[in-house]
Amino acid sequence: MIDILIEYRHLFLQGLVTTVELLFLIVLIGVPLGILLGSLGGRSSKSISFIVSSLKFLTKIVPVLVLLFWLHFPLQAVLGIVVDPFWTTVIALGFVNMIAVAFIVQSELKLLPIAYKEAGITLGMTNSQIVKHIELPILMKRVLPSIALNQATMLEYTLFASLISVPELFKVSQTINSMVYDPVAIYSLLVLFFAIILAPLHILITIYKKRNVIQYD
């Protein structure tokens, strides 16, 4: 197993870099936009709340892989355009990530007790001060574990990119296996990679939730 890793390290590294680039862009698109949409839907706009909830339902009934294929094949054929598979993956998973994060934030905001806002008003704080100093810190502590877990899911979803020929880690592993045919060693390396990344993340999230998540009365 080690000898394969050493011999084909340049290919493994290429796949790893592509996977990291995918995840970075998916997080960059999904998290900020998701927090913004969720904040608007949870506090000030019923129409945005409805859209977010509807799109969340859509992502539940349409598998991510089907959405990715639909964006890559029929949609591009109908529009008469060709988009690089890498960017098709970023758009598809970035969208799924954005809706998931928006739904998390929106749902949590709706659960936030009005007592926090009333306490801020009693102290003479403006709405923006209440949001900045009271609601936002509480909200972020509660949603951070869920958002982080969703990013772990996005990492797993990047594997689907191999099916539209994006040379990420799984696709590279398949390519190497076609050359040396040692599936036990090659896919064991893949398992090891994801275990090294995801196991500590899940442990850290569990510890964080026990120490930091605020429970409403």
Instruction: Give the tens place of pLDDT for each residue, 12-49.
Output: 999 999 999 999 999 999 999 999 999 888 876 789 89
Quickly state the pLDDT bin for 217 (edges 50, 70, 90): low
DSSP type of residue 215: P
Q: How far is Cα of residue 215 from the mean position of the Cα atoms in its chain?
A: 25
- Options 1.10.3720.10, 3.30.420.40, 3.40.50.300, 3.40.50.2000; CATH of 18-166: 1.10.3720.10
CA 93/CA 89 separation, integer angstroms? 6
CA 155/CA 199 separation, integer angstroms? 13
Token pair of 180 as six digits: 């040396």
Q: Provide the pLDDT for residue 117.
A: 81
| DSSP-assigned states of every residue in 88-143 | HHHHHHHHHHHHHHHHHHHHHHHHS-HHHHHHHHHTT--HHHHIIIIIHHHHHHHH
CA distances from 138 to 34, 116, 210 (A): 18, 10, 15
| DSSP-assigned states of every residue in 126-194 | -HHHHIIIIIHHHHHHHHHHHHHHHHHHHHHHGGGGGGGT--SHHHHHHHHHHHH--HHHHHHHHHHHH
Q: What is the mean pLDDT of the chain?
A: 92
- More confidently predicted of 189 and 136: 189
Across 158-179, average pLDDT: 96
Token pair of 145 as six digits: 């574990």
Cβ atoms of 43 and 108 closer than 8 Å = no
Q: Provide the pLDDT for residue 210.
A: 82
Q: Tell me which of 4-13, 51-60, 117-126 is least confident.
A: 117-126
For the chain, give every domain's residue range: 18-166
Packing angle of the helix pair 9-43, 85-111 (nearest 10 deg):
40
Quickly state the pLDDT bin for 131 (edges 50, 70, 90): confident
